Structures are given as structure tokens and as C-alpha cells.
């Protein structure tokens, strides 16, 4: 049986060449400066086109960083605007901030943020807007630049969860007016699990102390992420082009089955997708389809609510959630065609 990994949205596999070796070297030689937090942080800031004076802090977790930052910057009575298309764990963190109100912005049934009326909502007591760059359930990309510029004009903080996007989609702290960019290293950056952080624009560098922790830095993980970043830089535009082509191919193959036992979710075009296409199976339960794909064909994907029930509800998926397929740069076009053939048989 073939083994086809289509769950890169959860964790990239395989990792970038050199990641494991760099982690081993960091264990044996932990004082190597070129793979330390400062050097890797500077590379990440450059990747995100962070303006001069920006800072990067590695954190124990993506949501941990957002919680620490917001809890230190906001006061009881303040309001946060967020999207139902974000990760459920992030929305739970926001809802748990003492004395802070969270309002969910309206989205279409494809997960697209509705910009009409947003400017009017950006007034006191709103202090921050928190969005996921790309929806972890269906891959729909949010209009960061439009939202960021509206926030910047009104002095409102704009924080972005780029966990599914950094390394896959263009991220530009300057052009998109992002004040804080949360990320992890194990998906689009092709690095190891256990490395997360926050990039802070000059507007928020004074709050960097809020992210201090007594936990020791994950030096092997950071070294592994540094190796992955070097690989991304070495491969450059051809690697990003390949991932875009794979994403389009995945969307096109699944669209051939749209209405024939599947409903394809998210944006109606393949442009800008972060390698993610999700479906609802109308011919059989989602869970059954996912288990058959893995058991009979060796195709590994993700299924269910994926930790984001509000996103699934917005997409009209009900309690069964979705079946999510996500490619990486090492996926092959043949594997995607194999998936289509398996789905045709099962449907």
C-alpha cells in the first residue's frame, strides 16, 4: 500500500533537509551562535518583512504568547474583535481574558471576512483585532492589509495568527500594518514541533518583557527551525511556486468531484490558498471516508471539527466537521491524482 501524507496543515512532513542534523548539533554544541535564538529570530523578521526596530521573542506556545501580550496590554472593559474562522484554542484564550469582551466579526459561508461595516466597529472600547491569516479548517485567506490599515488609522492593535501561513503565503508586517505576528515552526516553515514565537513591530517592542518566561529556550528546536529557514531561502521562489501549483492541482482535482459526493469548502478559486482544501462528504460520514482513505489507500488526512467548531459552523458543516487535505512542497502531483482516484472509488 502506498503511503501518502496529506496533513501538512497539522505538521509538515517530511521536514526540510538538515533540520534533524541541526538539532543534533545544537544538543552537542549548544553555544553555536549562528543557530541561536538571536540569529534565527533575525531571519524570521526578514522573512516577515518586519520594519526596522522590530523584535522577535520565542515563546512556549503560539497561544501562550498572544495571551501574555494581550493580558498585559488590555484593561477590563476593553473589547477584542476576532473572526470565527480562527483556531478554537485562540478564541478560547481571548474569551478567557479577565474583563475583556470578544466580538466575532461576520464572515460569509466560505469563511471570507465581511469588510462592510468594519470601519464603524473599530471604535472604543475596541482595543485590538485578532485574525488568523489563513483559516486552519478550509484555508480561506483573510484580507490582512485592508484590516491592518483600518486599525492603524484608529490606533487599534492588529495581531495575526500566522501559524498556517508563514512560509507559505506572503507576510509583510510593514505593508499589512501588523503589530504582532504569532507563528509556529512546524507547518509552513518546515521546521520541528515545539518552536513558537511572536514578532513585534516597533509599536509593541516596549511590551516585549511581557513575553519573558522562566522556561529554558528550546535551543535544539530553534536550531532546527534555523536550518529549515536556510532551506527555504536557498530554494527561494521555485519552492513557493511548486507549492502554489500543488495547491491549485489539489483544488482542481477535488472540484471535479464537487457535487458528486463531495462539497468543496472555502474560497471559490484556488488562488492564494495555503495548500489546504477541505470538503464535506455527502455520500457517507466524513469520519468513515477518512478512515477508508487511510485504511485502504494509505492516505492520511484530517477530519472532524479540527478544534474550530465556530469555523465549521460558519462553513455550514454541522457537527461532523470537514475532511481536510493539505499539501506541502514535497507532495507530488501523482499523489494528488491518486487521492482523486481513491475518492472516486469510495464515493
What is the pLDDT tens value at each position of the chain, 347 positions in all?
799 999 999 999 999 999 999 999 999 887 776 678 999 999 999 999 999 999 999 999 999 999 999 999 999 999 999 999 999 999 999 999 999 999 999 999 999 999 999 999 999 999 999 999 999 999 999 999 999 999 999 999 999 999 999 999 999 999 999 999 999 999 999 999 999 999 999 999 999 999 998 888 899 999 999 999 999 999 999 999 999 999 999 999 999 999 999 999 999 888 888 999 999 999 999 999 999 999 999 999 999 999 999 999 999 998 899 999 999 999 999 999 999 999 999 99
Q: Tell me the CA distances in angstroms from 254 to 29, 109, 173, one per residue in order.
A: 47, 19, 33
Domains in the chain, please, with CATH? 4-13+237-346 (3.90.1150.10), 19-235 (3.40.640.10)
**Per-residue model confidence (pLDDT) at position 281:** 95
Start-end of H helices in 50-106: 62-73, 88-95
Block residue for cell numbers 509599536: 203
What the block records as the C-alpha cell of 235 is 530554494
**Per-residue model confidence (pLDDT) at position 229:** 97
**Per-residue model confidence (pLDDT) at position 33:** 62
Distance CA 190, CA 228 (A): 6
Distance CA 141, CA 183 (A): 16
What the block records as the C-alpha cell of 319 is 457537527
What the block records as the C-alpha cell of 61 is 506556545
For residue 55, the surrounding DSSP H or E stretch is: strand 55-59
Residue 271 pairs in a beta bridge with: none
Q: DSSP character for 280?
A: E
Q: DSSP character for 35?
A: G
What are the φ and ψ backbone dihedral angles of 134, each rounded to 5 degrees? -130, 135
Amino acid at each position: 500500500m502506498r503511503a501518502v501524507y496529506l496533513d501538512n496543515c497539522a505538521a509538515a512532513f517530511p521536514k526540510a533537509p538538515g533540520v534533524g542534523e541541526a538539532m543534533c548539533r545544537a544538543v552537542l554544541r549548544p553555544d553555536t551562535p549562528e543557530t541561536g535564538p538571536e540569529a534565527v529570530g533575525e531571519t524570521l523578521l526578514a522573512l516577515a518583512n518586519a520594519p526596522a526596530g522590530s523584535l522577535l521573542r520565542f515563546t512556549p506556545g503560539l497561544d501562550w504568547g498572544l495571551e501574555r501580550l494581550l493580558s498585559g496590554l488590555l484593561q477590563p472593559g476593553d473589547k477584542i474583535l476576532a473572526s470565527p474562522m480562527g483556531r478554537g484554542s485562540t478564541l478560547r484564550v481571548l474569551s478567557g481574558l479577565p474583563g475583556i469582551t470578544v466580538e466575532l466579526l461576520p464572515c460569509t459561508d466560505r469563511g471570507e471576512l465581511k469588510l462592510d461595516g468594519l470601519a464603524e466597529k473599530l471604535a472604543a472600547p475596541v482595543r485590538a483585532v485578532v485574525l488568523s491569516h489563513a483559516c486552519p479548517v478550509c484555508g480561506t485567506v483573510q484580507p490582512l492589509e485592508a484590516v491592518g490599515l483600518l486599525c492603524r488609522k484608529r490606533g487599534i492593535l492588529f495581531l495575526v495568527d500566522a501559524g498556517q501561513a508563514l512560509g507559505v503565503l506572503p507576510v509583510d508586517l510593514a505593508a499589512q500594518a501588523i503589530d504582532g505576528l504569532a507563528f509556529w515552526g512546524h507547518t509552513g516553515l518546515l521546521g520541528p514541533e515545539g518552536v513558537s514565537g511572536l514578532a513585534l513591530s516597533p509599536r509593541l517592542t516596549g511590551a516585549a518583557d511581557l513575553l519573558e518566561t522562566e522556561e529554558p529556550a528550546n535551543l535544539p528546536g530553534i536550531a532546527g527551525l534555523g536550518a529549515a529557514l536556510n532551506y527555504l531561502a536557498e530554494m527561494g521562489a521555485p519552492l513557493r511556486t511548486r507549492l502554489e501549483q500543488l495547491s491549485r492541482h489539489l483544488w482542481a482535482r477535488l472540484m471535479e468531484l464537487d457535487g458528486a459526493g463531495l462539497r468543496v469548502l472555502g474560497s471559490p478559486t484556488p488562488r492564494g490558498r495555503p495548500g489546504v482544501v477541505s470538503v464535506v462528504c455527502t455520500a457517507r460520514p466524513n469520519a468513515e471516508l477518512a478512515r477508508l482513505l487511510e485504511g485502504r489507500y494509505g492516505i492520511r488526512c484530517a477530519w472532524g471539527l479540527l478544534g474550530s467548531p465556530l469555523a465549521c459552523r460558519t462553513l455550514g458543516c454541522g457537527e461532523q466537521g470537514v475532511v481536510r487535505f493539505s499539501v506541502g512542497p514535497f507532495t507530488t502531483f501523482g499523489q494528488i491524482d491518486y487521492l482523486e482516484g481513491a475518492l472516486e472509488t469510495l464515493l
